[in-house]
Amino acid sequence: MSVALDLRLKRANKVYHEGEVLAGVVVITSKEAVQHQGISLTMEGLVNLQLSSKSVGVFEAFYNSVKPIQLISSNIEVAKPGKVPGGKTEIPFEFPLQAKGNKMLYETYHGVFVNIQYTLRCDMRRPLLAKDLSKTCEFMLHCQPQKSKVQPTPVDFTITPETLQNVKERTSLPKFVIRGHLDATNCVITQPLTGELVVESSEVAIKSIELQLVRVETCGCAEGYARDATEIQNIQIAEGDVCHGLPIPIYMVFPRLFTCPTLETTNFKVEFEVNVVIVLHDDHLITENFPLKLCRV
Amino acid sequence: MLETRFHSIALYSVFFRHARVRKYGAELQRCRLDAVPVDLGDYHPLKPITVTDSRSRRGGRKGSTSSSSSSSSSVAPDPLSSMLEGTDPLSLFAAASASETPTLSHSSSSVELGRKRRENEEEVGADFEPWSAKRGEILARFTTTEKLSINLFMGSDKNKASSPSSAVSEKVRTRLEELDDLEEGSQRELLNLSQQDYVNRIEELNQSLKEAWSSDQKVKALKIVIQCSKLLSDTSVIQFYPSKFVLITDILDTFGRLVYERIWSMCSDPRPIPDSFSVEDVNDTAKETCLNWFFKIASIRELIPRLYVEAAILKCNRFLNKTGIQETLPRLTAMIRGIGDPLVAVYARAYLCRVGMEVAPHLKDSLNKNFFDLLASFRQIHGDTVQNQLVIQRVEIPVYLTLYSPAIHWILQCVAYRAPDVLLTEMMERCKKLGNNALLLNSVMWAFRPEFVAARATDFIGMIKDCDEAGFPKHLLFGSLGRSLACADPPESERLPILNEAWKVITKVRSPQDYINCAEIWVEFTCRHFTKREVNTVLADIIKHMTPDRAFEDAYPQLQSVMKKILTYFHNFSVLFSMEKFLPFLDMFQKDSVRVEVCKSIMEVFIKHQQEPTRDPVILNALLHVCKTMHDSVNALTVEDEKRSLALLINGFIRMVSFGRDFEQQLSFCVEARATFCNLEPVIIQLIHTVNQLAMETRRVMGGSHSRKTAAFVRACAAYSFITIPSLTSIFSRLHLYLLSGQVALANQCLSQADAFLKAAVSVLPEVPRTISVEGKQRSSEAFLLDFINSFLSTLLVVPDHPEQGVLYLVRGLLNMVQDYTWEDNSDAKVRVYISALPLLAAMSQESYLYTIPKVDSNETLYGGDPKFVAEISRLCETLIGQVLDHLKTLGREEGVRRQGSLAFSLFSTLLAHGDLRNNKLNQLAVNLWNLSHKNGHCDTRTSVRTLEHIKQQAQQPELSHLSDMLLRLSLQSRA
């Protein structure tokens, strides 16, 4: 006797906004009638914060994780104890997506030290000798579009040995001139990061040029706060000794889930940066950092 | 002796057999059919059946295809052309398949037509050489003997990618990196692969891609594709790179197709969506899946895999939005600028162009952009990085540059496809600005329309001269130019200078292989526009280059192609053979198989194009030489088919030789030919026929009466045949030729020769084997033999008896042979011959014969109806009938009643037709035979009824009235 429990959301992309209604159906499929002691649905939105071992030490990191912040939570009973007939049974449900109290629903974000996640869980309690059934599905929340207009704020940059910081022996550096621009540092999250880059000259052949997307997460807690930068993805835009003087496009799509509009709350912050990394053939690594501000329109 | 033998046989019953007296003229008159005027409108089975197109003109498909009727309309419309109304059916279907509902209707509205036309513009037509055509060529051309390696980097990037974050949660890490890893932690590097191993490995990967896909492991499939496209960034063993590109892009194509089909099938839930769907037809799930693919691919770390994989699924953009493809193409084009290695970059461009042409051929801009980017980064080829690499790999610059050709050709082909001349001119100018790079120029000539190139041929020659060689050999450039000029004509006035300029360069090429490759191309241009003088010069040059060190031995394919081109343009063989260098050129083919091949192609062209018979000594000598070469290639190992085809060609030649009125010359040609082609039996047969024909032609010219000289000549012809025939192995060929030659000799009043032929035929008869092989199967020769004997018998009517031999010498000789021949057991063949000899004897006893040969006295005149002669014939008949009756008797005893019946019936019919049934005994015999044939009920009732009717009809004639009495005695046996 096998019973399958499934959750199906109405929207294929599972993306919802605050104030909307999360709708879908619980699907129970079974060959025979199923005896149960109640079916319930739980919807929950949580912010999980974790302290980095770098800032607070291994043990504290392990024990002292900050309490999760609940953004939304509700629970309804779908069916009273009884029997579900055999075959396929669909039970529709709806949840209003309304934040608790004066909180707001942050956008779904999967990070390293900060995780914002919305889940929907369905439980079917069953009598003795039968395992309770449970099914969880995650849905995405996108925050409301920003009202104010986004200024693109383009940035021009030039990288030469002279513009570099953190150089130990400036004399051993090969000569190079790399110019470029980013079309915007105030980026719309659904639009790619674009720009151009020209290798005007380089004494040493170039091995690779990459775009490194970095998240900067800050968690506040009793002892102060921890700020950590980690890589999200690294996209190569040039391989080998590229043609000098020919503009190379800078293009990167912001990955879903791993990025969200730049977020600043009392307890935590999520920010993003992009590094243009130039690797020379003698393994010199040149990095130029640009803070980004992501938003949704 | 013969006579005595027949007499010694105890006669079963003695009949005095009389031949019925025949009046052939009157009979013929009676038998002649009434002339019935033919009504043209009538149905006639042989009239071409006309299929009237009964489709409803509008409903295109619904009309039944089987409805056909024969109609008598005078102009029969060709059903194919009427259906398609002149349009090329293939292109029409191609266009139709693009639109949702194929319409074949004639009256499609103008809107529809407009739509179709527009679609046609967007489609790639048949004149675009597809990639699949290039594929094999590249694989065959770019090979290597060096060892290759496949490195599937399984997570080797892990250290680098996750360097800043040692604390990344495991979950996130795997999610990000599973795109890079094929199987977690397993790094495979396959070293030391031979080229074949490499190809096999790639094929394995292709298979595992399909398997992964079908077992729903989409992520694994993506990983495989990423790993494969990563291999394209590896340029070690650079000579193999183009082939590697071909192999790997095959995998990418598979992948692109799989993804597209899957998403497409997701949308076709209630019903399949049409091929020309719009974004609105796509449901959310499909869109989401598609988007997912694009996000996944956008996060591929390395540039080259990201580029290739996104290009592979370019078509899927159609599911997301209308403008997706036209936004993506330029972006991907720009992305290629990031590829440092020029070779890798140019192939990436070729792939992008290829996908672009497939998916959106109307988006020309990005094609052009690709080309301009290519020009902009062209200097990279001569950069330090590349040069260093070449030194390490020990690859010469010219070899390296040719690696670019397939990709640049392809890009230019895409760019030039249906492009306006203005654009092409601009492209050319841009190439020029780049310092007339030879590599580019070469591709331009390859890819641009031949007409375009041909119109500017002089310019091109100038450019070729100007361009710095930079390692790219000039003869290749001239080769490319020649290829264009072979298809399109340059302005008339420029042709000779072009040829001169080109040949000046070609003749300086040192390596014979390079030389012949280039010369072969230019031969076409030369043949097409110039006379034999120029072609002769070219041939002389080729001979000069290819003779030293027997260089021609390595260039047979090219030389053959030269020959083929010459033969395509020169159909006049007297011109062809008057070229001084043609035969010396032919002599360069020294390998037997190739030589015969070339000779065959010459003969084929000759047979196809020579309209008039010829006596031109130049042609004859040369072709005799060619045919002799073919003939001499025949040996014990030659297969039957090959012999047949060679003989066919030689026969074709012999038929085309005619010396007009100079018959003696013709005969001496045949003598010579017989000596030359003695190994090919069909040729010998043809020669005998030719000579016989010659004799008959002589007779015709002389109006039937030979002079002394011509009489001697026809005797010579007969002698030729007589001594040639015995050399044939096929017994039936010999028999028929003896008979035929005998007839010809008789027609030419060569009585003793005719006698000799017929005697020879009779003497050969006992040698006929019981079985012969017909088309490889053993079959009984009986039927063939009977056929021959019957036609032989009919000839014997006109052959006069030899004065020194006895009466009916040949007939008796034949019958003796028949009696002695070992027939098959249980066969009636012998008796059937006897029965068929009876009509001959009956015809011989007439006062005037059914047919005679002019100026030859047959037995009718020789004996003048001498009673002795008639008596001799009657005796012979008696003997024959006696033999037949004996045989009938033996059959009655055995199980052969059925055979007995049928034999009796045929003897009855013969008697009825040829015997004088007024003779009572004969009459009684006929009635007995009738009864015998009906005794056992094995005869065909319908034939019997018809026979009776015939007799009834005959009996109405006054001289045959006795038949009506007999009719009363013939009873039809009623079947129980």
pLDDT tens track for B531-558: 888 888 888 988 888 888 888 888 888 8
A·B CB contacts under 8 A: 110
Res B793: pLDDT: 92
Confidence of residue B489 (pLDDT cuts 50, 70, 90): confident
- Chain A residue numbers touching B285 (CB-CB < 8 A): 12
Helix axes B131-141, B241-267, angle to 10 degrees: 150
Q: Does the distance separating the beta carbons of A230 and B168 come in below 8 Å? A: yes
Is A247 in CB contact (< 8 Å) with chain B?
A: yes
Is B379 in CB contact (< 8 Å) with chain A?
A: yes
Q: Which sign does the torsion angle of CA B243, B244, B250, B252 carry?
A: negative
pTM equals 0.65
Q: Does the distance separating the beta carbons of A246 and B299 come in below 8 Å? A: no
> In angstroms, what separates the C-alpha of B195 from chain A's closest C-alpha?
26
Q: Does the distance separating the beta carbons of A11 and B337 come in below 8 Å? A: no
Q: Does the distance separating the beta carbons of B373 and A241 come in below 8 Å? A: no
- Chain A residue numbers touching B320 (CB-CB < 8 A): none
Chain B's closest residue to A52, CA to CA, is B167
d(CA B945, CA B792): 32
Is B301 in CB contact (< 8 Å) with chain A?
A: yes
Is A276 in CB contact (< 8 Å) with chain B?
A: no
List Cα–Cα distances, B477 to B373, B525, B532, in angstroms. 23, 15, 26
Q: Does the distance separating the beta carbons of B284 and A12 come in below 8 Å? A: yes
Judged by average pLDDT, the poorest of B87-101, B353-367, B372-386, B701-715 is B87-101
> In angstroms, what separates the C-alpha of A287 from chain B's closest C-alpha?
14
Closest CA to B905 of B960, B955, B799, B832: B832
- The identity of residue B513, as a single letter, is Q
Neighbours of B184 (CB within 10 A): 10
The H or E element spanning position B246 is: helix B241-267
> In angstroms, what separates the C-alpha of B307 from chain A's closest C-alpha?
10
Q: Does the distance separating the beta carbons of B172 and A239 come in below 8 Å? A: no
Dihedrals phi, psi of B686, to nearest 5 degrees: -60, -40
Chain A's closest residue to B305, CA to CA, is A236
Q: Does the distance separating the beta carbons of B168 and A253 come in below 8 Å? A: no
- Chain A residue numbers touching B377 (CB-CB < 8 A): 243, 246
- Chain A residue numbers touching B226 (CB-CB < 8 A): none
Res B159: pLDDT: 37
> In angstroms, what separates the C-alpha of A11 from chain B's closest C-alpha?
8
- The identity of residue B781, as a single letter, is S
Written as six digits, the tokens of B314 are: 């370019």
Closest CA to B317 of B330, B308, B306, B329: B329
B149-176: average pLDDT: 44
Helix axes B681-701, B708-724, angle to 10 degrees: 160
Give the pLDDT confidence of A69-126 residue by residue, as tens digits.
888 888 888 888 888 888 888 888 888 888 777 778 888 999 888 899 999 999 988 8
Q: Contacts for B539-545 with beta carbons within 8 Å, 24 or more apart?
A: B539/B579, B539/B581, B539/B582, B539/B584, B539/B585, B540/B580, B540/B581, B541/B503, B541/B507, B542/B516, B542/B585, B543/B581, B543/B584, B543/B585, B543/B588, B545/B507, B545/B512, B545/B515, B545/B516, B545/B519
pLDDT at B927 over 80: yes
B89-99: average pLDDT: 43
B948-954: average pLDDT: 88
Quickly list DSSP for A97-111. ---STT---PPPEE-
Is B385 in CB contact (< 8 Å) with chain A?
A: yes
Closest CA to A278 of A210, A232, A214, A231: A210
Q: What percent of chain B has pLDDT over 90?
A: 15
B686-697: average pLDDT: 94
Is B526 in CB contact (< 8 Å) with chain A?
A: no
Is A203 in CB contact (< 8 Å) with chain B?
A: no
> In angstroms, what separates the C-alpha of B336 from chain A's closest C-alpha?
8
> In angstroms, what separates the C-alpha of A197 from chain B's closest C-alpha?
10
* CA B12 distance to own-chain centroid: 63
Q: Which sign does the torsion angle of CA A171, A176, A180, A185 carry?
A: negative
Is A8 in CB contact (< 8 Å) with chain B?
A: no
pLDDT at B179 over 70: no
Chain A's closest residue to B297, CA to CA, is A253
Written as six digits, the tokens of B452 are: 């375009």
Is B352 in CB contact (< 8 Å) with chain A?
A: no
Is B230 in CB contact (< 8 Å) with chain A?
A: no
Check if the beta carbon of residue B829 is closer than 8 Å to that of residue B780. no
pLDDT at B436 over 70: no
Chain B's closest residue to A13, CA to CA, is B288
Check if the beta carbon of residue A250 is closer than 8 Å to that of residue A259. no
**Interface test mutation site (partner A, options B165, B232, B282, B366, max chain A beta carbons within 10 A):** B165
Per the prediction, chain B carries an average pLDDT of 79
Give the pLDDT confidence of B612-667 residue by residue, as tens digits.
888 888 888 889 999 998 999 888 888 888 999 999 999 999 999 999 888 999 99
Confidence of residue B230 (pLDDT cuts 50, 70, 90): confident
Res B53: pLDDT: 44
Res A251: pLDDT: 92
Q: Does the distance separating the beta carbons of B298 and A239 come in below 8 Å? A: no
List Cα–Cα distances, B163 to A77, A212, A214, A272, in angstroms. 48, 12, 12, 18
pLDDT at B57 over 60: no
How high is the ipTM of this complex?
0.90
d(CA B690, CA B737): 12
- Chain B residue numbers touching A226 (CB-CB < 8 A): none
Chain A's closest residue to B373, CA to CA, is A246
Is A216 in CB contact (< 8 Å) with chain B?
A: no
Is A21 in CB contact (< 8 Å) with chain B?
A: no
More confident residue, B736 or B234: B736
d(CA A58, CA B284): 46
Is A234 in CB contact (< 8 Å) with chain B?
A: yes
Check if the beta carbon of residue B293 is closer than 8 Å to that of residue B337. no
Res B394: pLDDT: 83
Is B296 in CB contact (< 8 Å) with chain A?
A: no
d(CA B641, CA B542): 34
Q: Does the distance separating the beta carbons of A239 and B379 come in below 8 Å? A: no
Check if the beta carbon of residue A138 is closer than 8 Å to that of residue A119. yes
- Chain A residue numbers touching B331 (CB-CB < 8 A): 249, 251
Of the candidates B163, B164, B337, the beta carbon closest to that of A248 is on B337
pLDDT at B90 over 60: no
User: By three-state DSSP, how is residue B339 classified?
Assistant: strand
E-state strands within A205-267 = 206-221, 224-239, 248-252, 263-264
Residue with tokens 């082939």: B243
pLDDT at B684 over 90: yes
Res B97: pLDDT: 44
Chain B's closest residue to A61, CA to CA, is B167
Judged by average pLDDT, the poorest of A205-219, B108-122, B234-248 is B108-122
Dihedrals phi, psi of B203, to nearest 5 degrees: -65, -40
Res B264: pLDDT: 85
d(CA B572, CA B609): 8
Is A231 in CB contact (< 8 Å) with chain B?
A: yes
